[in-house]
Amino acid sequence: MKPRLFSRFIAATLTILAFASVLYTSCTKPEPEEPTVDTQCIDVNCNNGNCFRGQCACNIGWEGFYCDIKSVQKYLGQWSAVETVLISNDTTNTSHVGDTNHYTFHIFPDGNSVTSFRLAGLMEYPGDTVKCYLGNPVDHFYEANRFYFEGTSLPNANVYLHRAGGSITTSGSVIDSLKYERWYDGVNQFGDTIVLKETVSVAAQKAP
């Protein structure tokens, strides 16, 4: 074989070998990496959540170090309430701004729900119940220490409630910032039928 042809043969052979090497490398699957184990979570049992670096991140509606406590649990029980009228257009002389009312209401479970509870006795009408949801009263985004309820009617009180929500302290012993609007039919001093509207604030202490 002539030198020039031989050198061309060698060059072509090297090119083919280089191409084959690249092709083989690109088509070979990498070895799967061994899954890493969070050693800090080996002995941590997050009942209703997931462990990360030894700490439990709880699912919605659960709290506690091991995510084993329902967030609604701290709301349950008897509450001593003080209700204050903040705004009123009542012209029937039955309700004035600054009027207060003292009574007791009761909060009980809403079945097995971990994101809602039932409130009975608001406005001192124990026969009426209101379903409350855990979340921010403004955007309804889940927050364990805040709650709201949708517009609802209390048939015994003959009133419609809306724009309601409040919060509970971390200790679970005080409900504050609970505000709601109540609407109901009434008659003014001229005998005209109107819809009365009041904004009410409620502060409550858990009964021992």
Residue 99 sits in a domain whose CATH number is 2.40.128
Q: What is the pLDDT of residues 151-179, one digit of tens each?
A: 899 999 889 998 899 999 988 999 988 99
What's at 199, amino acid-wise?
Answer: T
CA distances from 96 to 123, 125, 157, 193, 200 (A): 15, 20, 18, 18, 11
The average pLDDT across 64-74 equals 94
Domain contains 12? no
DSSP 75: G
pLDDT > 60? residue 28: no
pLDDT above 70 covers what percent of the chain? 79
Confidence band, pLDDT 50/70/90 cuts, at residue 196: confident
53 falls within a domain? yes
Considering 67, 88, 110, which residue would you say is the last residue of a domain? 67
Q: Is the alpha carbon torsion for 155, 156, 162, 164 positive or negative?
A: negative
User: How would you class 183 by CB atoms within 10 Å of its CB: exposed for 0-12, middle for 13-18, buried for 19 or more?
Assistant: middle
Residue 24 class from Cβ within 10 Å (0-12 exposed, 13-18 middle, 19+ buried)? exposed
**Cα 124 to Cα 63, 72, 108, 198, distances in angstroms:** 31, 22, 16, 16
Q: The domain containing residue 80 runs over which residues?
A: 71-206
- Both 94 and 122 in one domain: the answer is yes
Q: How far apart are CA 191 and CA 194, in angstroms?
A: 9
Residue 146 lies in a domain: yes
Measured at the alpha carbon of residue 132, what is the angle toward residues 126 and 136, in degrees to the nearest 5?
A: 145
Q: Are 110 and 134 in contact, with CB atoms under 8 Å apart?
A: no
Q: Do 43 and 88 belong to one domain?
A: no
**Short-list 200, 199, 201, 196, CA closest to 90:** 196
Q: Are residues 58 and 102 in the same domain?
A: no
**What is the pTM for the complete model shown?**
0.76
Segment 44-56, tens digit of pLDDT: 899 999 998 889 9
The total of structural domains in the chain comes to 2
Q: Name the band, by pLDDT with cuts 50, 70 and 90, for residue 130.
A: very high
CB atoms under 10 Å from CB of 187, counted, come to 12
Whether 100 has a pLDDT exceeding 70, the answer reads yes
